[in-house]
Amino acid sequence: MSRPPDPARSDPAGPDTSRLRDRVRDRALVAAILVGAWAAVAWGTGAPAFILPSPLRVAEAFVANAALIGDHALVTLAEVLAGLALGAGLGAATAVWLSLSAPARRLVMPALVFSQAVPIFALAPVLTLWLGYGIWPKILVTVLIIYFPVASAFLDGLRRADPALIELARVMGGGRWRILLRIRAPLALPDLASGLRLAAVYAPIGAVIGEWVGASKGLGYLMLLANGRAKTDLMFAALVALALGAVALHAVLGSLATRLERWSRTGRWR
Amino acid sequence: MTGAPPPGLRLNGTLRFGAQVLFRDLSMTVRPGEWTCLLGDSGVGKSTVLRLLAGLETGAALEGEAGATDGAPLEGRIAWMAQSDLLAPWLDLHENLAMGARLRGEPPDRDRAAELLERVGLGPHAHKTPHMLSGGMRQRAALARALIEDRPVALLDEPFAALDLRTRAAMQELAFAELAGRTVLHVTHDPHEAARLGHRILVLTRDGLVEPALPAGLPIRDAAGPEVLEAQARLTRLLLGETRA
Protein backbone atom coordinates (compact mmCIF):
# COMPACT_ATOMS: atom_id res chain seq x y z
CA MET A 1 0.00 0.00 0.00
CA SER A 2 2.95 2.32 0.18
CA ARG A 3 3.75 3.01 -3.44
CA PRO A 4 7.25 4.35 -4.04
CA PRO A 5 6.54 7.99 -4.81
CA ASP A 6 8.03 10.47 -7.21
CA PRO A 7 11.06 8.91 -8.89
CA ALA A 8 12.37 12.43 -9.63
CA ARG A 9 13.54 12.63 -6.00
CA SER A 10 16.12 9.95 -6.35
CA ASP A 11 18.14 11.83 -8.98
CA PRO A 12 21.77 12.63 -8.22
CA ALA A 13 23.13 16.13 -8.79
CA GLY A 14 23.32 15.32 -12.53
CA PRO A 15 20.38 17.10 -14.19
CA ASP A 16 20.84 20.25 -12.09
CA THR A 17 24.48 20.74 -13.06
CA SER A 18 23.90 20.08 -16.73
CA ARG A 19 20.98 22.56 -16.75
CA LEU A 20 23.29 25.12 -15.11
CA ARG A 21 25.96 24.45 -17.74
CA ASP A 22 23.40 24.98 -20.52
CA ARG A 23 22.30 28.25 -18.98
CA VAL A 24 25.83 29.56 -18.62
CA ARG A 25 26.59 28.59 -22.23
CA ASP A 26 23.41 30.33 -23.52
CA ARG A 27 24.19 33.49 -21.60
CA ALA A 28 27.81 33.58 -22.72
CA LEU A 29 26.59 33.23 -26.30
CA VAL A 30 24.17 36.16 -25.95
CA ALA A 31 26.88 38.28 -24.31
CA ALA A 32 29.32 37.45 -27.13
CA ILE A 33 26.77 38.47 -29.78
CA LEU A 34 26.06 41.77 -28.02
CA VAL A 35 29.75 42.61 -27.59
CA GLY A 36 30.33 41.63 -31.23
CA ALA A 37 27.56 43.96 -32.38
CA TRP A 38 28.96 46.75 -30.23
CA ALA A 39 32.45 46.21 -31.69
CA ALA A 40 31.04 46.14 -35.22
CA VAL A 41 29.22 49.46 -34.72
CA ALA A 42 32.27 51.07 -33.06
CA TRP A 43 34.66 50.04 -35.83
CA GLY A 44 32.15 50.28 -38.69
CA THR A 45 31.09 53.85 -38.00
CA GLY A 46 34.60 54.91 -37.11
CA ALA A 47 33.18 56.92 -34.22
CA PRO A 48 35.84 58.61 -32.08
CA ALA A 49 36.58 56.90 -28.77
CA PHE A 50 35.03 59.68 -26.68
CA ILE A 51 31.70 59.05 -28.44
CA LEU A 52 31.70 55.27 -28.63
CA PRO A 53 34.77 53.40 -27.37
CA SER A 54 35.32 49.89 -28.69
CA PRO A 55 34.89 46.92 -26.35
CA LEU A 56 38.64 46.42 -26.35
CA ARG A 57 39.26 50.00 -25.21
CA VAL A 58 36.67 49.62 -22.47
CA ALA A 59 38.34 46.41 -21.36
CA GLU A 60 41.68 48.23 -21.25
CA ALA A 61 40.12 51.05 -19.23
CA PHE A 62 38.60 48.46 -16.90
CA VAL A 63 41.96 46.83 -16.25
CA ALA A 64 43.85 50.11 -15.96
CA ASN A 65 41.31 51.48 -13.46
CA ALA A 66 40.49 48.23 -11.68
CA ALA A 67 41.40 49.56 -8.24
CA LEU A 68 39.41 52.77 -8.74
CA ILE A 69 36.37 50.93 -10.06
CA GLY A 70 36.66 48.41 -7.25
CA ASP A 71 36.67 51.12 -4.57
CA HIS A 72 33.58 52.78 -5.97
CA ALA A 73 31.87 49.46 -6.62
CA LEU A 74 32.27 48.52 -2.95
CA VAL A 75 30.45 51.69 -1.91
CA THR A 76 27.60 51.02 -4.33
CA LEU A 77 27.46 47.39 -3.21
CA ALA A 78 27.16 48.45 0.44
CA GLU A 79 24.34 50.84 -0.46
CA VAL A 80 22.52 48.16 -2.45
CA LEU A 81 22.85 45.49 0.23
CA ALA A 82 21.83 47.81 3.07
CA GLY A 83 18.90 49.09 0.98
CA LEU A 84 17.84 45.56 0.13
CA ALA A 85 17.97 44.36 3.72
CA LEU A 86 16.10 47.36 5.07
CA GLY A 87 13.60 47.59 2.20
CA ALA A 88 12.80 43.88 2.18
CA GLY A 89 12.59 43.80 5.98
CA LEU A 90 10.31 46.83 6.17
CA GLY A 91 8.24 45.55 3.24
CA ALA A 92 7.77 42.13 4.83
CA ALA A 93 6.94 43.66 8.22
CA THR A 94 4.38 45.96 6.59
CA ALA A 95 2.79 42.98 4.84
CA VAL A 96 2.51 41.12 8.14
CA TRP A 97 0.98 44.13 9.86
CA LEU A 98 -1.52 44.81 7.05
CA SER A 99 -2.47 41.13 6.84
CA LEU A 100 -3.52 41.22 10.50
CA SER A 101 -5.55 44.42 10.42
CA ALA A 102 -8.37 45.23 8.02
CA PRO A 103 -8.60 48.88 9.16
CA ALA A 104 -4.86 49.29 8.59
CA ARG A 105 -5.27 47.84 5.10
CA ARG A 106 -8.08 50.27 4.33
CA LEU A 107 -6.08 53.27 5.54
CA VAL A 108 -2.56 52.39 4.48
CA MET A 109 -2.98 50.59 1.15
CA PRO A 110 -4.19 53.67 -0.78
CA ALA A 111 -1.27 55.67 0.60
CA LEU A 112 1.15 52.95 -0.44
CA VAL A 113 -0.27 52.79 -3.94
CA PHE A 114 -0.21 56.59 -4.18
CA SER A 115 3.43 56.64 -3.06
CA GLN A 116 4.21 54.56 -6.13
CA ALA A 117 2.88 57.34 -8.34
CA VAL A 118 5.66 59.66 -7.08
CA PRO A 119 8.74 59.21 -9.28
CA ILE A 120 11.61 58.34 -6.97
CA PHE A 121 13.93 60.22 -9.32
CA ALA A 122 12.12 63.44 -8.45
CA LEU A 123 12.37 62.67 -4.75
CA ALA A 124 16.09 61.89 -4.72
CA PRO A 125 17.36 65.53 -4.68
CA VAL A 126 15.19 66.27 -1.66
CA LEU A 127 16.51 63.22 0.14
CA THR A 128 20.06 64.39 -0.58
CA LEU A 129 19.14 67.83 0.72
CA TRP A 130 17.87 66.30 3.96
CA LEU A 131 20.40 63.56 4.51
CA GLY A 132 23.54 64.96 2.94
CA TYR A 133 25.98 63.48 0.46
CA GLY A 134 26.81 60.35 2.39
CA ILE A 135 25.54 56.81 2.01
CA TRP A 136 22.12 57.33 3.63
CA PRO A 137 20.16 59.08 0.86
CA LYS A 138 21.27 56.30 -1.55
CA ILE A 139 20.14 53.61 0.87
CA LEU A 140 16.86 55.42 1.38
CA VAL A 141 16.18 55.68 -2.37
CA THR A 142 16.87 51.95 -2.66
CA VAL A 143 14.58 51.21 0.28
CA LEU A 144 11.80 53.33 -1.23
CA ILE A 145 12.10 51.63 -4.58
CA ILE A 146 11.95 48.03 -3.35
CA TYR A 147 9.70 48.44 -0.32
CA PHE A 148 6.45 48.40 -2.25
CA PRO A 149 7.04 45.38 -4.51
CA VAL A 150 8.10 43.28 -1.51
CA ALA A 151 5.25 44.48 0.72
CA SER A 152 2.55 44.03 -1.88
CA ALA A 153 3.73 40.61 -3.11
CA PHE A 154 4.06 39.21 0.43
CA LEU A 155 0.73 40.72 1.53
CA ASP A 156 -0.99 39.10 -1.45
CA GLY A 157 0.46 35.76 -0.46
CA LEU A 158 -0.45 36.12 3.21
CA ARG A 159 -4.03 36.98 2.35
CA ARG A 160 -4.51 34.35 -0.35
CA ALA A 161 -3.07 31.50 1.76
CA ASP A 162 -5.15 28.33 1.26
CA PRO A 163 -8.41 29.19 3.07
CA ALA A 164 -9.17 25.54 3.88
CA LEU A 165 -5.87 25.09 5.69
CA ILE A 166 -6.49 28.31 7.62
CA GLU A 167 -9.96 27.02 8.59
CA LEU A 168 -8.45 23.79 9.81
CA ALA A 169 -5.92 25.77 11.85
CA ARG A 170 -8.79 27.72 13.44
CA VAL A 171 -10.75 24.56 14.23
CA MET A 172 -7.57 23.24 15.87
CA GLY A 173 -7.69 26.27 18.12
CA GLY A 174 -4.90 28.40 16.65
CA GLY A 175 -4.81 32.13 17.42
CA ARG A 176 -4.14 34.51 14.57
CA TRP A 177 -0.48 35.17 15.43
CA ARG A 178 0.31 31.48 15.55
CA ILE A 179 -1.68 30.88 12.36
CA LEU A 180 0.24 33.72 10.72
CA LEU A 181 3.60 32.37 11.81
CA ARG A 182 3.00 28.67 11.33
CA ILE A 183 0.62 28.55 8.34
CA ARG A 184 0.17 31.81 6.45
CA ALA A 185 3.82 32.87 6.30
CA PRO A 186 5.16 29.50 5.07
CA LEU A 187 2.37 29.38 2.47
CA ALA A 188 3.21 32.94 1.33
CA LEU A 189 6.95 32.39 0.91
CA PRO A 190 6.69 31.91 -2.88
CA ASP A 191 5.05 35.34 -3.11
CA LEU A 192 7.73 36.89 -0.92
CA ALA A 193 10.21 35.23 -3.28
CA SER A 194 8.75 36.95 -6.34
CA GLY A 195 8.92 40.25 -4.47
CA LEU A 196 12.62 39.61 -3.75
CA ARG A 197 13.28 38.83 -7.42
CA LEU A 198 11.88 42.23 -8.36
CA ALA A 199 13.82 43.87 -5.55
CA ALA A 200 17.07 42.42 -6.91
CA VAL A 201 16.44 44.16 -10.24
CA TYR A 202 15.42 47.50 -8.72
CA ALA A 203 17.94 47.82 -5.90
CA PRO A 204 21.02 48.80 -8.02
CA ILE A 205 18.88 51.29 -9.94
CA GLY A 206 17.91 52.90 -6.63
CA ALA A 207 21.49 53.22 -5.46
CA VAL A 208 22.68 54.71 -8.77
CA ILE A 209 19.83 57.23 -8.82
CA GLY A 210 20.95 58.33 -5.37
CA GLU A 211 24.55 58.63 -6.53
CA TRP A 212 23.67 60.64 -9.63
CA VAL A 213 21.85 63.23 -7.58
CA GLY A 214 24.81 63.96 -5.37
CA ALA A 215 27.68 61.83 -4.22
CA SER A 216 31.44 61.66 -3.91
CA LYS A 217 31.66 57.88 -4.13
CA GLY A 218 30.03 54.98 -5.92
CA LEU A 219 29.76 53.67 -9.46
CA GLY A 220 27.02 56.17 -10.34
CA TYR A 221 29.27 59.02 -9.24
CA LEU A 222 32.23 57.55 -11.15
CA MET A 223 30.14 57.31 -14.33
CA LEU A 224 29.05 60.94 -14.07
CA LEU A 225 32.62 62.03 -13.36
CA ALA A 226 34.08 60.04 -16.25
CA ASN A 227 31.39 61.26 -18.61
CA GLY A 228 32.01 64.88 -17.65
CA ARG A 229 35.71 64.49 -18.47
CA ALA A 230 35.02 62.77 -21.78
CA LYS A 231 36.57 59.56 -20.42
CA THR A 232 33.87 57.60 -22.14
CA ASP A 233 35.84 54.36 -21.92
CA LEU A 234 36.01 54.64 -18.12
CA MET A 235 32.32 55.47 -18.02
CA PHE A 236 31.56 52.30 -19.95
CA ALA A 237 33.91 50.29 -17.77
CA ALA A 238 32.04 51.48 -14.67
CA LEU A 239 28.77 50.66 -16.39
CA VAL A 240 29.99 47.14 -17.15
CA ALA A 241 30.99 46.71 -13.50
CA LEU A 242 27.53 47.86 -12.44
CA ALA A 243 25.82 45.51 -14.89
CA LEU A 244 27.91 42.54 -13.78
CA GLY A 245 27.12 43.30 -10.15
CA ALA A 246 23.41 43.59 -10.90
CA VAL A 247 23.43 40.26 -12.73
CA ALA A 248 25.28 38.60 -9.84
CA LEU A 249 22.83 40.05 -7.32
CA HIS A 250 19.93 38.82 -9.39
CA ALA A 251 21.44 35.34 -9.52
CA VAL A 252 22.02 35.21 -5.76
CA LEU A 253 18.58 36.50 -4.80
CA GLY A 254 16.99 34.40 -7.54
CA SER A 255 18.53 31.30 -6.07
CA LEU A 256 17.35 32.30 -2.58
CA ALA A 257 13.86 32.87 -4.00
CA THR A 258 13.85 29.45 -5.66
CA ARG A 259 14.80 27.86 -2.35
CA LEU A 260 12.01 29.66 -0.51
CA GLU A 261 9.51 28.46 -3.10
CA ARG A 262 10.79 24.91 -2.94
CA TRP A 263 10.68 24.81 0.85
CA SER A 264 7.12 26.07 0.92
CA ARG A 265 5.98 23.35 -1.48
CA THR A 266 8.13 20.42 -0.38
CA GLY A 267 9.80 21.16 2.94
CA ARG A 268 13.20 20.94 1.26
CA TRP A 269 15.68 23.71 0.44
CA ARG A 270 17.47 21.86 -2.32
CA MET B 1 -10.62 12.74 25.86
CA THR B 2 -11.22 13.83 29.42
CA GLY B 3 -14.10 14.43 31.79
CA ALA B 4 -17.46 15.46 30.41
CA PRO B 5 -19.45 13.13 28.13
CA PRO B 6 -19.40 14.12 24.45
CA PRO B 7 -22.26 16.33 23.27
CA GLY B 8 -24.78 15.44 20.59
CA LEU B 9 -25.14 17.64 17.53
CA ARG B 10 -28.19 19.39 16.22
CA LEU B 11 -28.96 21.25 13.02
CA ASN B 12 -32.41 22.77 12.47
CA GLY B 13 -33.55 25.19 9.84
CA THR B 14 -33.59 26.27 6.24
CA LEU B 15 -30.41 26.85 4.29
CA ARG B 16 -30.26 29.24 1.36
CA PHE B 17 -27.60 29.99 -1.23
CA GLY B 18 -28.78 33.41 -2.36
CA ALA B 19 -32.30 32.85 -3.71
CA GLN B 20 -31.83 29.09 -4.00
CA VAL B 21 -32.97 26.89 -1.12
CA LEU B 22 -30.45 24.10 -0.46
CA PHE B 23 -32.69 22.44 2.11
CA ARG B 24 -35.90 23.54 3.80
CA ASP B 25 -36.88 22.82 7.41
CA LEU B 26 -34.15 20.26 7.87
CA SER B 27 -34.09 18.75 11.31
CA MET B 28 -31.10 16.62 12.07
CA THR B 29 -29.66 15.33 15.31
CA VAL B 30 -26.55 13.31 15.93
CA ARG B 31 -26.71 11.35 19.16
CA PRO B 32 -23.86 11.72 21.63
CA GLY B 33 -21.23 9.01 21.65
CA GLU B 34 -22.48 7.44 18.41
CA TRP B 35 -21.09 7.06 14.92
CA THR B 36 -23.57 8.63 12.50
CA CYS B 37 -23.10 8.31 8.76
CA LEU B 38 -24.53 10.97 6.48
CA LEU B 39 -25.03 9.57 2.99
CA GLY B 40 -26.06 11.40 -0.14
CA ASP B 41 -25.18 12.42 -3.67
CA SER B 42 -22.40 14.86 -4.35
CA GLY B 43 -23.63 18.43 -4.22
CA VAL B 44 -26.66 17.66 -2.09
CA GLY B 45 -25.19 19.60 0.82
CA LYS B 46 -23.52 16.97 3.02
CA SER B 47 -20.28 18.92 3.37
CA THR B 48 -22.26 22.09 4.01
CA VAL B 49 -23.98 20.39 6.95
CA LEU B 50 -20.58 19.41 8.31
CA ARG B 51 -19.21 22.91 7.85
CA LEU B 52 -22.23 24.49 9.52
CA LEU B 53 -21.69 22.28 12.56
CA ALA B 54 -17.96 23.06 12.59
CA GLY B 55 -18.80 26.76 12.51
CA LEU B 56 -17.04 27.28 9.17
CA GLU B 57 -17.93 29.68 6.36
CA THR B 58 -20.35 28.07 3.89
CA GLY B 59 -21.37 30.97 1.68
CA ALA B 60 -24.94 30.10 2.64
CA ALA B 61 -27.38 31.58 5.11
CA LEU B 62 -28.87 29.29 7.74
CA GLU B 63 -32.20 30.34 9.19
CA GLY B 64 -32.12 28.20 12.28
CA GLU B 65 -29.49 26.78 14.56
CA ALA B 66 -26.49 24.48 14.38
CA GLY B 67 -24.49 23.33 17.34
CA ALA B 68 -24.14 21.04 20.33
CA THR B 69 -27.15 19.61 22.15
CA ASP B 70 -25.63 20.57 25.50
CA GLY B 71 -25.92 24.23 24.55
CA ALA B 72 -22.21 25.00 24.99
CA PRO B 73 -20.22 26.18 21.97
CA LEU B 74 -18.53 23.50 19.89
CA GLU B 75 -15.39 25.58 19.53
CA GLY B 76 -12.42 23.63 20.81
CA ARG B 77 -14.37 20.36 20.96
CA ILE B 78 -14.15 19.38 17.28
CA ALA B 79 -11.68 17.41 15.22
CA TRP B 80 -12.37 18.17 11.57
CA MET B 81 -11.12 16.16 8.64
CA ALA B 82 -11.80 17.80 5.31
CA GLN B 83 -12.19 16.15 1.91
CA SER B 84 -8.71 17.18 0.83
CA ASP B 85 -5.87 16.16 3.12
CA LEU B 86 -4.87 19.75 4.02
CA LEU B 87 -1.43 18.64 5.06
CA ALA B 88 1.12 21.44 5.31
CA PRO B 89 3.44 20.77 2.36
CA TRP B 90 6.55 22.12 4.12
CA LEU B 91 6.18 19.90 7.21
CA ASP B 92 7.00 16.21 7.41
CA LEU B 93 4.27 13.87 8.61
CA HIS B 94 5.51 13.95 12.18
CA GLU B 95 5.34 17.75 12.23
CA ASN B 96 1.98 17.72 10.46
CA LEU B 97 0.62 15.68 13.35
CA ALA B 98 2.14 18.20 15.77
CA MET B 99 0.42 21.07 13.94
CA GLY B 100 -2.63 21.32 16.22
CA ALA B 101 -0.56 21.36 19.42
CA ARG B 102 1.85 23.93 18.00
CA LEU B 103 -1.01 26.16 16.89
CA ARG B 104 -2.38 26.05 20.42
CA GLY B 105 1.06 26.68 21.91
CA GLU B 106 1.11 23.27 23.60
CA PRO B 107 4.01 20.83 23.54
CA PRO B 108 3.26 18.21 20.86
CA ASP B 109 2.89 14.59 21.95
CA ARG B 110 5.68 12.99 19.93
CA ASP B 111 5.11 9.45 21.17
CA ARG B 112 1.42 9.55 20.32
CA ALA B 113 2.23 10.97 16.86
CA ALA B 114 4.73 8.18 16.22
CA GLU B 115 2.23 5.59 17.44
CA LEU B 116 -0.60 6.89 15.25
CA LEU B 117 1.63 7.13 12.18
CA GLU B 118 2.66 3.55 12.83
CA ARG B 119 -0.97 2.47 13.13
CA VAL B 120 -2.00 4.11 9.84
CA GLY B 121 0.94 2.34 8.22
CA LEU B 122 3.09 5.44 7.75
CA GLY B 123 5.71 4.73 10.40
CA PRO B 124 8.55 4.44 7.87
CA HIS B 125 7.41 7.70 6.21
CA ALA B 126 7.20 9.87 9.33
CA HIS B 127 9.99 12.12 8.13
CA LYS B 128 8.79 12.54 4.56
CA THR B 129 6.91 15.60 3.39
CA PRO B 130 3.48 15.21 1.74
CA HIS B 131 4.68 15.72 -1.85
CA MET B 132 6.66 12.49 -1.60
CA LEU B 133 3.57 10.47 -0.75
CA SER B 134 0.62 9.11 -2.71
CA GLY B 135 -2.90 10.51 -2.30
CA GLY B 136 -3.92 7.53 -0.18
CA MET B 137 -0.94 7.94 2.12
CA ARG B 138 -1.68 11.62 2.54
CA GLN B 139 -5.27 10.83 3.45
CA ARG B 140 -4.12 8.37 6.09
CA ALA B 141 -1.80 11.02 7.51
CA ALA B 142 -4.74 13.44 7.64
CA LEU B 143 -6.77 10.79 9.48
CA ALA B 144 -3.96 10.35 12.00
CA ARG B 145 -3.85 14.11 12.47
CA ALA B 146 -7.60 14.22 13.15
CA LEU B 147 -7.25 11.37 15.66
CA ILE B 148 -4.35 12.95 17.55
CA GLU B 149 -6.53 15.99 18.21
CA ASP B 150 -8.38 13.87 20.79
CA ARG B 151 -11.64 15.82 20.68
CA PRO B 152 -15.07 14.64 21.88
CA VAL B 153 -16.64 15.40 18.48
CA ALA B 154 -15.25 14.26 15.12
CA LEU B 155 -16.54 15.64 11.82
CA LEU B 156 -15.19 13.49 9.01
CA ASP B 157 -15.73 14.44 5.37
CA GLU B 158 -15.05 11.47 3.07
CA PRO B 159 -12.10 10.37 5.23
CA PHE B 160 -11.49 7.11 3.37
CA ALA B 161 -12.37 8.11 -0.20
CA ALA B 162 -8.80 7.97 -1.57
CA LEU B 163 -8.00 4.52 -0.16
CA ASP B 164 -7.98 1.13 -1.81
CA LEU B 165 -10.40 -1.51 -0.51
CA ARG B 166 -8.07 -3.28 1.88
CA THR B 167 -6.55 -0.11 3.35
CA ARG B 168 -9.99 1.40 3.61
CA ALA B 169 -11.29 -1.51 5.68
CA ALA B 170 -8.25 -1.29 7.97
CA MET B 171 -8.57 2.48 8.40
CA GLN B 172 -12.30 2.19 9.14
CA GLU B 173 -11.50 -0.26 11.92
CA LEU B 174 -8.75 1.97 13.29
CA ALA B 175 -10.88 5.12 13.24
CA PHE B 176 -13.85 3.30 14.76
CA ALA B 177 -11.73 2.00 17.64
CA GLU B 178 -9.97 5.32 18.24
CA LEU B 179 -13.19 7.32 18.17
CA ALA B 180 -15.24 4.91 20.30
CA GLY B 181 -17.43 6.78 22.77
CA ARG B 182 -17.15 10.05 20.85
CA THR B 183 -19.73 11.76 18.73
CA VAL B 184 -18.88 11.17 15.11
CA LEU B 185 -20.57 12.61 12.05
CA HIS B 186 -19.15 10.91 8.99
CA VAL B 187 -20.04 12.24 5.56
CA THR B 188 -19.71 9.66 2.80
CA HIS B 189 -21.20 8.75 -0.56
CA ASP B 190 -20.33 5.07 -0.14
CA PRO B 191 -23.32 2.96 1.02
CA HIS B 192 -21.02 0.09 2.00
CA GLU B 193 -19.05 2.33 4.32
CA ALA B 194 -22.23 3.64 5.95
CA ALA B 195 -23.63 0.12 6.36
CA ARG B 196 -20.41 -0.97 8.00
CA LEU B 197 -19.81 1.91 10.37
CA GLY B 198 -23.08 3.58 11.30
CA HIS B 199 -24.80 3.35 14.66
CA ARG B 200 -27.16 5.41 12.65
CA ILE B 201 -27.45 6.17 8.94
CA LEU B 202 -28.98 9.34 7.57
CA VAL B 203 -29.50 9.97 3.88
CA LEU B 204 -29.63 13.55 2.68
CA THR B 205 -31.67 13.85 -0.52
CA ARG B 206 -33.04 16.84 -2.38
CA ASP B 207 -36.36 16.23 -0.62
CA GLY B 208 -34.85 16.22 2.84
CA LEU B 209 -33.46 13.81 5.38
CA VAL B 210 -34.36 10.12 5.29
CA GLU B 211 -33.47 7.52 7.92
CA PRO B 212 -33.37 4.05 6.39
CA ALA B 213 -33.38 0.84 8.43
CA LEU B 214 -30.00 -0.19 9.86
CA PRO B 215 -28.27 -3.48 9.07
CA ALA B 216 -28.47 -6.05 11.85
CA GLY B 217 -25.80 -6.06 14.51
CA LEU B 218 -23.67 -3.35 16.04
CA PRO B 219 -20.87 -1.58 14.26
CA ILE B 220 -18.23 -2.06 13.34
CA ARG B 221 -19.74 -4.74 11.11
CA ASP B 222 -18.04 -7.38 8.98
CA ALA B 223 -17.03 -5.67 5.72
CA ALA B 224 -18.01 -8.72 3.65
CA GLY B 225 -20.84 -9.97 5.91
CA PRO B 226 -24.34 -10.51 4.49
CA GLU B 227 -25.89 -7.80 6.74
CA VAL B 228 -23.57 -5.13 5.41
CA LEU B 229 -23.87 -6.25 1.79
CA GLU B 230 -27.67 -6.44 2.02
CA ALA B 231 -27.81 -2.97 3.54
CA GLN B 232 -25.39 -1.72 0.89
CA ALA B 233 -27.77 -2.97 -1.82
CA ARG B 234 -30.74 -1.37 -0.10
CA LEU B 235 -28.95 1.97 0.39
CA THR B 236 -27.72 1.87 -3.20
CA ARG B 237 -31.30 1.50 -4.45
CA LEU B 238 -32.32 4.38 -2.23
CA LEU B 239 -29.55 6.59 -3.60
CA LEU B 240 -30.45 5.59 -7.15
CA GLY B 241 -33.96 6.81 -6.37
CA GLU B 242 -35.51 3.41 -7.08
CA THR B 243 -37.30 2.96 -3.75
CA ARG B 244 -38.39 5.05 -0.83
CA ALA B 245 -37.14 4.28 2.64
B80 interaction partners in chain A (CB closer than 8 Å): 167-168, 171
**CA-based nearest distance B89→chain A, Å:** 5
Residue A130 within any structural domain of the chain: yes
Q: What is the ipTM of this complex?
A: 0.92
- Do B99 and A182 make contact, defined as CB atoms within 8 angstroms? yes
Could you tell me if A176 lies within 8 Å of chain B, comparing CB atoms?
no
Q: What is the CATH code for B9-77+151-240?
A: 3.40.50.300
pLDDT tens digits, one per residue of A31-42: 999 999 999 999
CA distance B52 to B183: 16
B82 interaction partners in chain A (CB closer than 8 Å): 164, 167-168
- Do B164 and A1 make contact, defined as CB atoms within 8 angstroms? yes
Q: What is the band of B227 on the pLDDT scale with cuts at 50, 70, 90?
A: very high
**Closest Cα in chain B to A7:** B132
Could you tell me if A7 lies within 8 Å of chain B, comparing CB atoms?
no
- Do B104 and A172 make contact, defined as CB atoms within 8 angstroms? yes
Could you tell me if B121 lies within 8 Å of chain A, comparing CB atoms?
yes
CA distance readout (Å), A221 to A68, A77, A136, A217, B92 = 12, 13, 15, 6, 51
A186 interaction partners in chain B (CB closer than 8 Å): 88, 90
Residue A40 within any structural domain of the chain: no
- Four-point Cα dihedral A10, A16, A18, A23, nearest 10: 160
Half-sphere exposure of B3 toward its Cβ, with a 13 Å CA cutoff? 3
Residue A148 belongs to domain with CATH number: 1.10.3720.10
* Closest by Cα among B82, B83, B149 to B113: B149
Could you tell me if A167 lies within 8 Å of chain B, comparing CB atoms?
yes
Whether pLDDT at B243 is above 90:
no
Q: What is the mean pLDDT of residues B37-53?
A: 90
Ranges of each domain in chain B: 9-77+151-240, 89-150
**CA-based nearest distance A2→chain B, Å:** 7
What are φ and ψ of residue A34, in 5° steps? -65, -45
CA distance B135 to B80: 18
pLDDT lower than 70: segments of chain A: 1-16
**Closest Cα in chain A to B91:** A267
- Do B99 and A169 make contact, defined as CB atoms within 8 angstroms? yes
For residues B228 and B196, is the Cβ–Cβ distance under 8 A?
yes
Residue A18 within any structural domain of the chain: no
Q: Of how many residues is chain A composed?
A: 270
- Do B125 and A2 make contact, defined as CB atoms within 8 angstroms? yes
Residue A205 within any structural domain of the chain: yes
pLDDT greater at residue B245 or residue B140: B140
Residue A44 within any structural domain of the chain: no
**Closest Cα in chain B to A8:** B132
Burial (0-12, 13-18, 19+ Cβ within 10 Å), B164: exposed
Could you tell me if A11 lies within 8 Å of chain B, comparing CB atoms?
no
Which residue from A173, A175, A264 is facing B76, i.e. has the nearest CB? A173
pLDDT tens digits, one per residue of B142-199: 999 999 999 999 999 999 998 999 999 999 999 999 999 999 999 999 999 999 999 9
* The pLDDT of residue B242: 66
pLDDT tens digits, one per residue of B110-140: 999 999 999 999 999 999 999 999 999 999 9
Segment holding A185, helix H or strand E: helix A185-213
If one counts the domains in chain A, the total is: 1
For residues A165 and B88, is the Cβ–Cβ distance under 8 A?
yes
Could you tell me if B164 lies within 8 Å of chain A, comparing CB atoms?
yes
Q: How many CB atoms lie within 10 A of CB B74?
A: 20
Residue A157 within any structural domain of the chain: yes
Could you tell me if B153 lies within 8 Å of chain A, comparing CB atoms?
no
A10 interaction partners in chain B (CB closer than 8 Å): none
Whether pLDDT at B53 is above 60:
yes
Q: How many CB atoms lie within 10 A of CB B77?
A: 19
Residue A192 within any structural domain of the chain: yes
pTM of the full structure: 0.85
Domain membership of residue A163 as a residue range: 53-266
Q: What is the band of B41 on the pLDDT scale with cuts at 50, 70, 90?
A: confident
Chains A and B form CB pairs within 8 A to the count of 86
Q: How many CB atoms lie within 10 A of CB A1?
A: 13
